[in-house]
Amino acid sequence: MSEPYLLLWLEAPLQAWGHDSKFGRRDSLDFPTKSGVFGLLCCALGAAGKQTEWLQRWAERDLQVTAYVPADRQGKPLPRLPLLRDFQMVGSGFDDQDPWASLLIPKTSEGKKAVGGGTKMTYRYYLQDMAYAVALQGPHSELQALAEALQNPVWDLYLGRKTCVPTEFVCQGVHENLAQAMQRASELAGEKSRHAVFRVLQGEHEGEVLTLNDVPLQFGEHKQYRDRRGTVQKME
């Protein structure tokens, strides 16, 4: 007998699921990462620190993602919006001689002024007007505890970055199997006039196989991840 699935609905004007970000460029993957989903659940639980034991329990659990875009009146998918690029400059224009203003200037971990000055420039990329159904497999009692935490989160829930506030209830219930979970996702998508465009399966299947470095081994100050294989399948 298969284990049940927790269904999450991740929808917002903007989402950002970091995967290969370096230095001043903060990219977004095309779909929610496993680390991003687990981070969301930890926010709901109020679980801080490394969380190594909790992450180890969930690392191999099945997680499937289906992506939805807005549809027209005939139910056909509308063209996807491009990635939104946001240019940010942090620490510019502050007087480093002023004790209060100095607190707003980026510094190294030792509290010293960064090499090249305190001003930092970054380009941050966001997915626009997307919705995702995320199905997570696990023991019923633990999934139910996660569902209750999502309905009464300890900390604010956001979709990748704190500016990405969900516009729909994230928790869509615990379902007996994957088929029932995805049936509920399909119904919700229909209510919202959205069309499924691709799905991401765990492991290697027919489709575009990717290597994703998004399985968290440790959260906290010194995060650690390992690779997994995932498959992107386009949907008609």
Q: List the CATH number of the domain containing 14.
A: 3.30.70.2660
Q: Which residues pair with residue 195 across a beta bridge?
A: 69
Residue 109 counted as domain residue:
no
What pLDDT is stored for residue 2 in this prediction?
75
pLDDT by residue, tens only, the chain of 236 residues:
578 999 999 999 999 998 776 667 788 889 999 999 999 999 999 999 999 999 999 999 999 999 999 999 998 999 999 999 998 776 666 777 788 777 777 777 777 766 655 567 788 999 999 999 999 999 999 999 999 999 999 999 999 999 999 999 999 999 999 999 999 999 999 999 999 999 999 999 999 999 999 999 999 888 899 999 999 999 97
pLDDT of residue 181: 97
Asked whether 154 and 88 are in contact (CB, 8 A), the reply is no
Residue 31 lies in a domain: yes
Distant-in-sequence, close-in-space partners of 88: CB < 8 Å, separation ≥ 6: 121, 122, 123, 124
The whole-number pLDDT of residue 103 equals 74
Domain-embedded: residue 17: yes
Quick one: which of 193, 174, 102, 101 has its CA closest to 136? 174
Structural domain contains residue 107: no
Amino acid 188: pLDDT: 97
Phi-psi region of 233 (alpha: psi -120 to 50; beta: other; left: phi over 0): beta
- Write out the residue range of the structural domain in which residue 198 sits: 5-84+128-234
The pLDDT assigned to 23 comes to 62
3-class SS of residue 58: helix
The structural domain count of the chain equals 1
Angle between helices 34-45 and 140-151 (to 10 degrees): 70
**206, 226, 204: which is closest to 214 by C-alpha?**
226
Task: Provide the 10 A C-beta neighbour count for residue 129.
Answer: 17
- CA 132 vs. chain centroid, Å, equals 10
Q: Is residue 220 part of a domain?
A: yes
35 domain residue, yes or no: yes
What's the rounded Cα separation, in Å, for the pair 134 and 210?
A: 18
Give a yes or no: residue 118 inside a domain: no
E-assigned strand segments in 91-167: 120-137
Task: Let me know if residue 153 belongs to a domain.
Answer: yes
Output the pLDDT for position 18.
85
* Environment class of 214 (CB within 10 Å of its CB; exposed 0-12, middle 13-18, buried 19+): buried
The pLDDT value recorded for residue 138 is 95
Give the distance, in angstroms, between the CA of residue 154 and the centroid of all CA atoms in the same chain: 18
Asked whether the beta carbons of 232 and 198 are under 8 A apart, the reply is: yes
Q: Enter the pTM of the model.
A: 0.87
